[in-house]
Structure 1
Amino acid sequence: MNINRIMVVGAGQMGGGIAQAAAAAGLQVMLHDIEYARAVRGMEQIRATLGREAEKGYRSREEAQAILDRITPTAVLGDAAGSELVIEAVSEDAGVKAELFRRLDAICAETAVLASNTSSLSITRLAGATKRPERVIGMHFMNPVAVMPLVEVIPGLATSEETTALIVSLAERLQKSPIVARDFPGFVSNRVLMPMINEAVFCLYEGVASREAIDSIMTLGMRHPMGPLKLADLIGLDTCLSILNVLHQEFGDSKYRPCPLLRQYVRAGWLGRKTGRGFYSYE
């Protein structure tokens, strides 16, 4: 089976990045959001990203325009009917994702693959909302999609070897590096990353050091390209909290308990770069 037509559900930062990567690889892409205006905003973000890449000489303006021409915004989920693959990149909520998969299962052809960009949720649970569990899989891209090479590929309990091989091949076609991980909470990336970020927040919460000092210790001492607090702002503090809640609930281990300061920032609406304020200010 060759994948040439896909739908990306969710036109935010991650969904737009996935749509751009797919279109750059020559795929025809439908970019869906629940409101058409949101899908159009997603397109404008992709246009801006491609414009910056053209200005820096990473690609020609003609190539950038050709990528845009392969992406179509839509607010009609039924447009997924002609897609060979649907990748969802909606909010990190198990109920929302499961309901979306139930609807897509009824819309898409039996041969279509349903993939989730979830950061931590059970692929097996999402597959259980469909009648095609063998064709449901995790396809976890990293942020920002345009520059991060990793795609974590997560087969659920019933995912077929054929589906896994197909998605690994597609990720390589998107010029990504696919790595297969088992369907455990947080997989590998966030099971390792989120406790580090959470501990950095605890250090700030307990007054161990300033935010700048915490981040500088990790960049200068551990050679991380970005400190954990700045990285949390980039990911989104609400997303970090959601992942930690999943890890804490699923494993029942107190080492995953979210720091109270993280909860407080999310309640205040300080979610990081996307809202202009998190651990740092981006006004």
Structure 2
Amino acid sequence: MTHVGVVGAGVMGAGVAQNLAQVGHTVTLVDNDPQATERALGTIEMNCRMSRMLGGPEIDADQTLARIRTGTDLALLTDAEIVIENITENWDLKRALYLELDAVVQPSAVFVANTSAIPITRLASLTGRPRQFVGVHFMNPVPMKPAVEIIPGHHTDQDALERVRTLLTSMDKKAIPVNDACGFVSNRVLMLTVNEAAFLVYEGVATAETVDEVFRSCFGHPMGPLETADLIGVDTILYSIEVLYEHFADSKYRPCPLLKKMTDAGLHGRKSGEGFYAYGGPAAATPRPSQNGKAHTPVTATR
């Protein structure tokens, strides 16, 4: 099996690490915050033990965790064959990370950017290995989602693309090919939808629960756009729509002020315990309205 490096131990990084480890890969999970990796391991253990109850496969939590080592030093990734980056959707942070990664990871390794909006060719230009750079947009929660977008950059060679496809197949993922463009397919559409739904709440047209009810009842969506925002992370939604706005210079991507206010207030959704809805905890089954998405005193953040 492949030794895979995973950078970033937030919601997405933990999900990617779990998915890799539960199918047998050796995983090194790195984050500059040691508490983040500890939280990630706790989340992975809980998800493995609850998988069967939530309609997923039976997963051996002990074996899965045994395949994951953690740390704060990128040098732990020196011999990784593939490195998957999952940090915040922020160009400056990603730029600093890739410059450092490129210097410590073996030259033959393939870099995978798990980004929701930033073009792959632009990210690959930060490294000395643009031919070995592939974009993969994983969906949340990673272990339960059957498909991903796979995006080659301008210089990505076929060998690197096939290595990543093989890895995704081993993770039971269907890789849907998409050409390189800001936001790709899913987020080019989804972020506009969520942003406009936030404007409806911001303008007082409807409450968050009413907006979501329209999408569930009228269109048959399993989740409304603002429930989806809480699942993804309100802060992540904001950063993604800001990337689209900057890239296209089109006013249709203007971020809703409510998203900015909620992000500043720490109302990031399920991972913080409160967003457009309030949760009893990160895994709360029944959310309740959170003052219709109006930003107010945040609850204690839980990553």
Q: Shorter chain as normaliser: what TM range?
A: over 0.9
Aligned amino acid, residue 240 of structure 2: I
Percentage of pairs with the same residue = 43
Q: Which residue of 1 aligns with 2:165?
A: 168
Moved >4 Å (runs of 4+) = 54-61
Q: Which residue of 2 aligns with 1:13?
A: 11
User: What do residues 79-108 of structure 1 show as CA deviations (whole Å, max 9, x unaligned)?
Assistant: 101100000111111121122111111111
Alpha carbons 2:119, 2:182 under 8 Å: kept: yes
The unaligned stretches of length 5 or more in structure 2 are 281-303
5 Å-filtered alignment, 1:85-164, equals 85-164=82-161
* Matching residue within 17, 33, 36 for 1:35: 33
Tell me the distance in 1 between the aligned counterparts of 2:142 and 2:167. Answer: 15
Q: Which deviates further from its counterpart, 33-42 or 124-133?
A: 33-42
Aligned amino acid, residue 230 of structure 2: D
Task: Describe the SS at the equivalent of 2:165.
Answer: helix
Aligned amino acid, residue 190 of structure 1: N
2:284 is aligned with 1:252: no
Aligned amino acid, residue 47 of structure 2: T
Tell me the distance in 1 between the aligned counterparts of 2:174 and 2:56. Answer: 20
Tell me the distance in 1 between the aligned counterparts of 2:109 and 2:221. Answer: 39
Task: Describe the SS at the equivalent of 1:207.
Answer: coil
Alpha carbons 1:6, 1:30 under 8 Å: kept: yes
Alpha carbons 1:11, 1:38 under 8 Å: kept: yes
- Residue 64 of structure 1: how far off its partner (Å): 2.6
Tell me the distance in 1 between the aligned counterparts of 2:35 and 2:200. Answer: 41
Root-mean-square deviation over aligned CA pairs: 1.5
Q: Which residue of 1 aligns with 2:296?
A: none
TM-score for the superposition, normalised by structure 1: 0.94
Alpha carbons 1:119, 1:140 under 8 Å: kept: yes
Tell me the distance in 1 between the aligned counterparts of 2:211 and 2:276. Answer: 11
Tell me the distance in 2 between the aligned counterparts of 1:270 and 1:77. Answer: 30
Alpha carbons 1:127, 1:156 under 8 Å: kept: yes
2:279 is aligned with 1:282: yes
| Larger proportion of helix | 1
Tell me the distance in 2 between the aligned counterparts of 1:55 and 1:279. Answer: 27
Alpha carbons 1:17, 1:146 under 8 Å: kept: yes
* Matching residue within 19, 22, 37 for 2:20: 22
Alpha carbons 1:101, 1:114 under 8 Å: kept: no
Alpha carbons 1:54, 1:64 under 8 Å: kept: no
Q: Which residue of 1 aligns with 2:66?
A: 69
Q: Which residue of 2 aligns with 1:45?
A: 43
The unaligned stretches of length 5 or more in structure 1 are none
Tell me the distance in 1 between the aligned counterparts of 2:199 and 2:32. Answer: 36
